[in-house]
Amino acid sequence: MLNLPAEFETFNELKKKGFIEIKEEKDKGKNVVGIFCSYTPVELIMAIDAHFVSLCGGDDASIAAAEKFLPKTLCPLIKSSYGLAITDSCPYFYFSDAILAETTCDGKKKMYELLGEIKPTHVMHLPQSQTAPLAIESWTEEMKQTATFLEQQFGRPITTESLRQAIIDRNRVRKALLQLYEIAALVPSPVSGYELSSVVESTDFHFTDDDVVEGLNQKIEEYLARYVAPNPDAKRRPRLMITGCPIGGCREKILKAVEDLGADVVAFDSCSGPRTQKVLVDETIDPYQALAEKYLLINCSVMSPNQGRFEDMKEMLKHYQVDGVIELILHGCHTFAVEAYYTKKFVTETMELPYICIDADFSTSDAGQIRTRLEAFLEILQ
Ligand code: SF4
Ligand code: SF4
């Protein structure tokens, strides 16, 4: 079972617990595949009876080592991920037998070339548009080629049956995650965004779907039991959405800071949020086609155009009764930085809500300045 006691543990504590779990799995002879992105069709890894683990770095400490080889101006997520790999300081990277990656942003896809010198790395060619001619055909073909890579790497086949079962199992996890996110739609939310995001992202470090689903169901019950109906006389805490780049490396200085200042983060419009989970993989059609259809629908800024992001955002802003939006742009992330033009316009003009854009890296040096900006933003919402 997902090892989450009633007492809240931070993401880093949960991640460390997963180190022991993955070592035990390796000792049992299990293969492990490292991944970096929500576009990764993890069902293929499951279908070959291997575990997948997220290797995305969110740690400032590993960046200096990476900057000996990568440009300083690159996004901290890419530098941190590569730094963890080359310093051998991440047990998850150490235990990974292979890497499954995709051509998302330029920095990531070029970093994978360097990573390929350390571990067997397969890079899937993700179409850069969801609607381009032949996008779905080429992405379906990429699914098949990835299956061949995994078969050759591990010397066993992916059968149609094992792939169908993996799709069913992963859909169960998605449904449990969707129920968990749904709790934050309650007013007031009985769970902090900091806690919710820590629990959701820690599921990447548990390796049996049944355990993950059981653990998530337990958390859902625990959070629902905390719910107290709103007092009509009490002042409502502002309800916020987080959007933009992955929040992991800025969890403390943005997510925790803004909640400590008196707001509730209730909606995550990011790749680990509900918009990535809400489309299930079709269990009834050809499994490769089904995977291609599901994963191509993810609305990340690496897609051009990326109109679906704003359609999803509109629905979420209403559903979670959001009062304001915080966008995170990691230094050097061109796709989200450029798309922020549309995000700001959409939030402030179409939805008529307050919006703040925060540029950050993973260091703590800007934490004070960010806190001051968040304080000023919350004042607008009072
Ligand atoms: S933000 Fe986009 S490219 Fe980055 S991990 Fe998420 S889906 Fe992948
Ligand atoms: S945050 Fe932006 S630059 Fe960094 S890995 Fe994701 S898409 Fe690439």
pLDDT per position as a tens digit, 19-62: 888 899 999 999 999 999 999 999 999 999 999 999 999 989 99
For residue 31, the CA-to-ligand 2 centroid distance in Å is: 27
* β-sheet bridge partners, residue 326: 242, 356
How confident is the model over 300-343, as pLDDT tens digits? 999 999 999 999 999 999 999 999 999 999 999 999 999 999 99
Ligand 2 center from residue 271 Cα (angstroms): 11
Give pLDDT, residue 102. 97
Q: What's the pLDDT band for 1 if we cut at 50, 70, 90?
A: very low
| DSSP H helix total and E strand total for the chain | 16, 8
**CA angle 100–104–107, rounded 5-degree value:** 100
Rounded to whole angstroms, the Cα distance separating 302 from 92 reads 26
Q: Which two tokens stand for residue 93?
A: 């990277």
Atom of ligand 2 nearest to the CA of 333: 3
Could you read off the pLDDT of 138-147 as tens digits, one per residue?
999 999 999 9
Residue 294's pLDDT band, with cuts at 50, 70 and 90, is: very high
123 — pLDDT class (breaks 50, 70, 90) = very high
* pLDDT value, residue 210: 84
- Which protein residue's CA is at the shortest distance from atom 3 of ligand 1? 104
Distance 164 CA to ligand 2 centre (A): 31
pLDDT for position 302: 97
pLDDT band at 258 (very low <50, low <70, confident <90, very high): very high
Would you say residue 5 has pLDDT above 70?
Answer: no
Q: How far is the CA of 98 from the centre of ligand 1 (A)?
A: 20
The Cα–Cα gap between 233 and 230 comes to: 9
Which range (57-66, 134-143, 227-236, 341-350) has the least confidence?
227-236
Residues 57 and 83: beta-carbon distance below 8 Å? yes
State the chain's mean pLDDT as an integer. Answer: 93
Burial 306-328, CB ≥16 within 10 A → b, else e:
bebbbebbeebbeebebbbbbbb
Q: CA distances (Å), 312 to each of 30, 76, 156, 186, 324, in order?
A: 37, 27, 39, 19, 16
What's the average model confidence in pLDDT over 344-359? 98
Structure confidence by residue, pLDDT tens digits, 147-185: 999 999 999 999 999 999 999 999 999 999 999 999 999
Q: Domain 11-161: which CATH class?
A: alpha beta
Angle between helices 334-345 and 307-319 (to 10 degrees): 50
pTM: 0.94
What residues form DSSP beta bridges with 324? 240
Mean pLDDT of 275-296: 96
Q: Is residue 101 within 6 Å of ligand 2 at its C-beta?
A: no
